[in-house]
């Protein structure tokens, strides 16, 4: 999937990873978290090769990470409060009063303290995403990974999530990696952006540097153009010929 891919995530920054569908952005996140292992090359987190960690070391590393899944991935048999409390209950033997305080603080940060006793089924997409964000930061991670955090959100929810990513990054002093298609939105908060295509980085820099980039792929992606090096159509036989072909049924 990747060929000669080389990118770095700087501490304390919001790094955006963009690119056309199917370029492996989510795969890259899975490589960082160790859910997938690279066939070749290295993925280093704080200088340690993720693929060389044993299970115990991998889990220790993941405790210092948080990840926001595209659909939230909330545990459907637990309510909002218990979802956020889940990592605390699994990893830390804290008094119930302290767990309550931490969970309410995180829910307040994402504006959903009042929804603590709702079930995941009762939440809108945007709310579910914010609960998942509260859960991702409950263990005070050093690295937060976001997989398509804006997909399917209305403009209000999108604005809220966008501001949350930036404010949490700055307030908690963490590093954030955001995989997204939403160029305009992420450009407002990203310190550094990478555009992937064909399994490699085709451009990197600040959002304004990317807009001035000479590469036609970058130009096509940043401006959302149908025509360009990245074809809109999946490879297919000649359109006219296929329509006229009476022997082909389906």
Partner 1 sequence: MIALAQELLGSLARFLERLGGLSRFTLSVLRQCPAALLRPRLVVEQIYNAGALSLVIIMTCGLFVGMVLGLQGHDLLQRFGSEESLGMGAALSLLKELGPVVTALLFAGRAGTALASELGLMRATDQISAMEIMAVDPMRRVVVPRFLGGVIAMPLLTAVFITVALFGVQLVGVQLLGVDQGQFWSQMRGAVELDDVREGLLKGLAFGVACSLIAVYEGYNAEPTAEGVGRATTRTVVISAVVTLVLDYILTAIML
Applying CB under 8 A, the residues found at the interface with partner 1 are 33, 35, 59-60, 62-63, 65-67, 69-71, 73-76, 86-87, 90-91, 132, 135, 139
Q: What share of the chain is helix, strand, coil (3-state, %, to 5)?
A: 45, 15, 45
60 touches 33 (CB < 8 A): no
In angstroms, the CA 133 to CA 164 distance is: 9
CB of 4 to partner 1, least distance (A): 27
Residue 89 CB neighbour total at 10 angstroms: 13
> Residue 12, SS3?
coil
Q: What tokens were used for 201?
A: 């980085």
Measured from the CB atom, is 76 or 247 closer to partner 1?
Answer: 76
CB of 76 to partner 1, least distance (A): 7
Cα atoms in the 13 Å half-sphere on the side-chain side of 165: 31
Measured from the CB atom, is 32 or 112 closer to partner 1?
Answer: 32
CB of 94 to partner 1, least distance (A): 16
Measured from the CB atom, is 65 or 218 closer to partner 1?
Answer: 65
**Cα first-last separation, the chain:** 31
- Look at phi and psi of residue 135 and say left if phi exceeds 0, alpha if psi is from -120 to 50, else beta: alpha
Measured from the CB atom, is 13 or 70 closer to partner 1?
Answer: 70
- Angle between the N-to-C axes of helices 96-109 and 125-137, in degrees from 0 to 180, rounded to the nearest 10: 130
Measured from the CB atom, is 36 or 172 closer to partner 1?
Answer: 36
CB of 131 to partner 1, least distance (A): 12
Measured from the CB atom, is 61 or 210 closer to partner 1?
Answer: 61
In angstroms, the CA 66 to CA 235 distance is: 38
CB of 31 to partner 1, least distance (A): 13
CB of 231 to partner 1, least distance (A): 27
């Amino acid at each position: 999937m990747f060929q000669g891919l080389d990118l770095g995530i700087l501490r304390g920054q919001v790094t955006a990873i963009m690119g056309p569908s199917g370029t492996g952005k989510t795969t890259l996140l899975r490589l960082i978290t160790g859910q997938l292992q690279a066939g070749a090359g290295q993925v280093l987190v704080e200088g340690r090769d993720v693929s060389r960690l044993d299970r115990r070391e991998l889990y220790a590393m993941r405790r210092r990470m948080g990840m926001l899944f595209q659909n939230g991935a909330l545990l459907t048999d637990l309510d909002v409060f218990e979802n956020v409390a889940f990592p605390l209950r699994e990893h830390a033997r804290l008094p119930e009063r302290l767990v309550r305080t931490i969970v309410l603080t995180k829910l307040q940060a994402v504006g959903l303290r009042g929804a603590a006793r709702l079930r995941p089924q009762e939440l809108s997409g945007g709310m579910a995403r914010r609960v998942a964000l509260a859960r991702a930061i409950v263990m005070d991670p050093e690295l937060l990974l976001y997989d398509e955090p804006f997909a399917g959100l209305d403009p209000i929810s999108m604005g809220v999530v966008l501001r949350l990513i930036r404010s949490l990054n700055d307030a908690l002093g963490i590093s954030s990696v955001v995989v997204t298609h939403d160029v305009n939105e992420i450009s407002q908060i990203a310190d550094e952006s990478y555009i992937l295509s064909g399994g490699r980085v085709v451009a990197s820099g600040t959002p304004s540097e990317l807009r001035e980039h000479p590469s036609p792929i970058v130009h096509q992606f940043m401006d959302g153009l149908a025509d360009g090096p990245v074809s809109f159509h999946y490879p297919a036989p000649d359109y006219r010929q296929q329509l006229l072909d009476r022997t082909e049924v389906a």
